[in-house]
Amino acid sequence: MIELLVATTNKGKIAELAGMLRDLPCQIIGLDSLPNSPPIPEETGATFAENALLKAEHYFNHAGLLTLADDSGLEVDALGGAPGIWSARYAGAGASDAERVARLLEELRDVPDAARTARFRCSIALVGVITGAVERHVFEGSCEGVITRAPRGRQGFGYDPVFLDGETGRTFAELSPAEKSARSHRGRALGVTRSFLERRLKRDDEG
């Protein structure tokens, strides 16, 4: 059994990640379990992958634990891919989810339904020692949808209430946690991460 640090203070992300990894042979802990945890570093990367690695490296160097960090966001075609890596800061520092959604809908107010295509992207970085040496891995996932004209649903967080999944006809905020995990960008990236950890941890146990 190894400790796996999930490097986020976002309670929604922690719940999703912990739920999908709960039966792996590792103990999942969050940043609130660390004594004197340093603040989240400034996200200076140009891509989701760079920012995820930056965060994972930062907390691995602090705690010495196998660390998982993600960076994810929404890309809207009519906005040239914005908000992208700025998704969490789209309405300014300290803005709420509702304020970010409101800004997005205002910018898309005159965009016709057919042109409101978008996607969520997620990069998950894993940094730490699994078998004797520090390893660095990045796993990615994405999902396609369209932006609704008004929020719908009470589940999820972030832009979930305005991201319509074409196959189900529901926003991510209208899906159950299990349904969202099966379809979301984070769920897909985490699925690849989970498969990697299952193989490696099983191999290490057998060795």
pLDDT at site 52:
96
Task: Express each pLDDT in 96-122 by its tens digit.
Answer: 999 999 999 999 999 999 999 999 999
Could you give the CA distance from residue 17 to residue 6 in angstroms, rounded to a whole number?
A: 8
Note the pLDDT tens digit of each residue in 17-47: 777 787 888 888 888 888 888 888 888 899 9
**Rounded to 5 degrees, what are φ and ψ at 195?**
-60, -40
Sequence-distant (6+) residues with CB within 8 A of 117 are 76, 77, 78, 144, 145, 146
| Across 79-88, average pLDDT | 96
Mean pLDDT of all residues in 47-64: 95
The per-residue pLDDT for 156 is 85
Which of the following is catalytic: 23, 32, 70, 71?
71
- 204 flagged as catalytic: no
CATH fold of the domain at 2-206 = Maf protein (3.90.950)
Q: Is the pLDDT of residue 193 over 60?
A: yes
pLDDT in tens, 121-180: 999 999 999 878 899 999 999 999 999 999 999 998 899 999 999 889 999 999 998 899
Answer yes or no: is pLDDT of 205 > 60: no
The domain spans of the chain are: 2-206
Residue 88 has pLDDT above 60, yes or no: yes
